[in-house]
Amino acid sequence: MSIQTVHRTPSVGVTSRSSRDIETDILVVPVFKDDILPEERDLDAASGGEIAGARARGEFKGEPCEVYIPPVRGWTAGRVALVGIGRRSDFAPDLLRRAAATGALAARQRRLRRMAIVHAAGIPIAPGDAAQTLAEGAVVGNFDGASYKTTEPPPAWVEDVQLRIDGDPSALRAAVDRGRVLGECTNIARELANEPGNTLTPPLFADRAAAIARSAGLSVDVLDQTRIAELNMGLLLGVARGSQEPPRLVVLRWEPTSAAQSPVLGFVGKGITFDSGGISIKPAENMDKMKGDMSGGAAVLAAMVAIARLKAPVRCVGVIPMTENMPGGRALKPGDVLVSAEGKTVEVLNTDAEGRLALGDACWYARQLGATHLVDVATLTGACVVALGKTTTGLFGTPEAWVEQVRRVGERAGDRLWPMPVFDEYKELFKSEIADFTNTGGRAGGAITAALFIKEFTGDLPWAHLDIAGTAWAEEAKPYQPKGATGVGVRTLAELALAVDAWARL
């Protein structure tokens, strides 16, 4: 377990006071690069023209997440921070979310406990959406990944956040509560993904997942190695063979009595707690990052917690296969053939293509549990990072209408998803001479063949695959995000459940 607390959820409320009268330690004002909003004009007057001067000098431009703290007189707040949200024509809700997170990090760096954020008139987003987005950002900004540092003072936390937004008070409160939960659950996933492999082995991950899920009101079933074997999950067991740590399969259920028996939304998350590559061992450089190979599993767990806390009106099941991939004496070898729980046979050409094996058995099991629509989330392929870099998640699946629903929800949630092809012709790349198919199709189209491998176990249900290999981990600190786990996918999965009316008949 972590030595220090790594995140804290502040109280978040709405105020109708004028911006100049809000009592807080720091007042965060999002501003455009190319459009001066009323709050900025008032602040410029209160600063004696310092803001306009800073813009004229190029000291402050209003670029996304750029921060400027001018001297201001006559306003109640202890400090005022302008945070850029870029050009008006480029505005997207995620820029507002990032501005709120940037403000929270700026407050914490100055060890300030109280923060207020102004939703200025003129920013093109509805009040309720703004309230949720700002609440998410403020909570996500209250995260610190330095959980095992003992020689530095503990992190400073923002304890209280006020949002200056005009609108229906009850609707705004509901939106704030939703954003606060989604932000907190994003932080839960980040905390887990940051954990070292020695403190988050499969059994320990399962124990922590069960405790977190039960506290949110989810039903939990943890399958040990014996029960996994009884289900004939040869793919998951094959990956686990090289490790001394036994595998687990965690099943989470949200079954509201008011929801119809169908649809049932099924989430499957890759839970490889450390991936050495197995016999096909990875290079030593950056292998330490493979502690985060369970980020998909963490996202599924955290999303299910959010779904329960927000009482989503749809039945959901989450399945998380947990194991290490290690090169022990009993480890899976290139050339071995495994038999899946569904009875399909797989020739293993590369033991480092292990995530899809575990996901194959898990997707089959989600179907047995009644899932009618599937989404799997996995740090699956380096090929996806080559294709899309570190800012965009690869989105695969069928049919197109289902994939488009997931894409739209992801855009609203701030998880940028980009659709990729899943044409049947790619299946030629992972044909096997002795089994039904191989576990890799080689370098060409590697992210696509990995997705199509998983599709073999989805039973033709509406299915989407999120390859988060590039987006699950921030390689460098940003104004809105410290280096480390990002919690990608949590808000997308939760929002998908909350938007059930949009896709229930697909």
* Alpha-carbon gap, residue 420 to 434, rounded angstroms: 29
Catalytic annotation, pick one of 87, 88, 173, 282? 282
Neighbouring C-beta atoms of residue 44, cutoff 10 Å: 20
Q: In this predicted model, what pLDDT tens digit does every residue of 34-81 receive, in sequence order?
A: 999 988 999 999 999 999 999 999 999 999 999 999 999 999 999 999
- Whether 301 shows a pLDDT value over 90: the answer reads yes
Extents of the domains making up the chain: 11-187, 195-502
Termini Cα distance of the chain: 42
* Alpha-carbon gap, residue 10 to 182, rounded angstroms: 13
* Alpha-carbon gap, residue 433 to 449, rounded angstroms: 17
- Whether 1 shows a pLDDT value over 60: the answer reads no
Comparing C-alpha atoms, which of 230, 240, 228, 237 is closest to residue 273?
240
- Quote the pLDDT of residue 5: 86
- Quote the pLDDT of residue 4: 75
* Alpha-carbon gap, residue 201 to 178, rounded angstroms: 32
* Alpha-carbon gap, residue 66 to 479, rounded angstroms: 8
Mean pLDDT score of the chain: 96
- Quote the pLDDT of residue 146: 82
Q: Is residue 52 a contact partner of residue 40, using CB atoms and an 8 Å limit?
A: no
* Alpha-carbon gap, residue 352 to 61, rounded angstroms: 46
User: In which band, very low, low, confident or very high, does the pLDDT at 477 lie, cut at 50, 70 and 90?
Assistant: very high
282 belongs to the catalytic site: yes
Task: Find how far residue 483's CA is from the centre of its chain.
Answer: 15
- Quote the pLDDT of residue 3: 66
Q: In this predicted model, what pLDDT tens digit does every residue of 195-207 receive, in sequence order?
A: 999 999 999 999 9
Q: Is the peptide bond before 421 cis (omega within 30 degrees of 0)?
A: no
Q: In this predicted model, what pLDDT tens digit does every residue of 214-236 receive, in sequence order?
A: 999 999 999 999 999 999 999 99
DSSP string, 149-188: --SSPPPP---EEEEE--S-HHHHHHHHHHHHHHHHHHHH
Comparing C-alpha atoms, which of 412, 399, 406, 426 is closest to residue 467?
406
3-state secondary structure of 34: coil
169-194 helix and 490-498 helix, angle to the nearest 10 degrees: 140
Which single residue is written with the structure tokens 């302008």? 82
Q: In this predicted model, what pLDDT tens digit does every residue of 375-424 receive, in sequence order?
A: 999 999 999 999 999 999 999 999 999 999 999 999 999 999 999 999 99
Phi, psi (5° rounding) for residue 291?
Answer: -65, -25
Q: In this predicted model, what pLDDT tens digit does every residue of 175-190 receive, in sequence order?
A: 999 999 999 999 999 9
* Alpha-carbon gap, residue 280 to 350, rounded angstroms: 6
Q: Is residue 303 a contact partner of residue 495, using CB atoms and an 8 Å limit?
A: no
356 belongs to the catalytic site: yes
Q: Is residue 96 a contact partner of residue 137, using CB atoms and an 8 Å limit?
A: yes
pTM: 0.97
Range 428-455 average pLDDT: 97
Q: Which CATH number fits domain 11-187: 2.40.10.220, 3.40.220.10, 3.40.50.720, 3.30.465.10?
A: 3.40.220.10
Q: Distances in Å between the alpha carbon of 356 and those of 125, 312, 317, 321, 396?
A: 39, 29, 19, 11, 14
Q: In this predicted model, what pLDDT tens digit does every residue of 241-278 receive, in sequence order?
A: 999 999 999 999 999 999 999 999 999 999 999 999 99
- Quote the pLDDT of residue 6: 92
* CATH T-level fold of 195-502: Aminopeptidase (3.40.630)
Catalytic annotation, pick one of 208, 248, 309, 356? 356
Q: In what order do the strands lie in the sheet with 11-15?
A: 11-15, 160-164, 114-118, 26-31, 79-84, 67-68
* Alpha-carbon gap, residue 75 to 53, rounded angstroms: 20
- Whether 2 shows a pLDDT value over 70: the answer reads no
Q: In this predicted model, what pLDDT tens digit does every residue of 123-146 receive, in sequence order?
A: 999 999 999 999 999 999 999 988
- Whether 460 shows a pLDDT value over 80: the answer reads yes
- Whether 152 shows a pLDDT value over 60: the answer reads yes
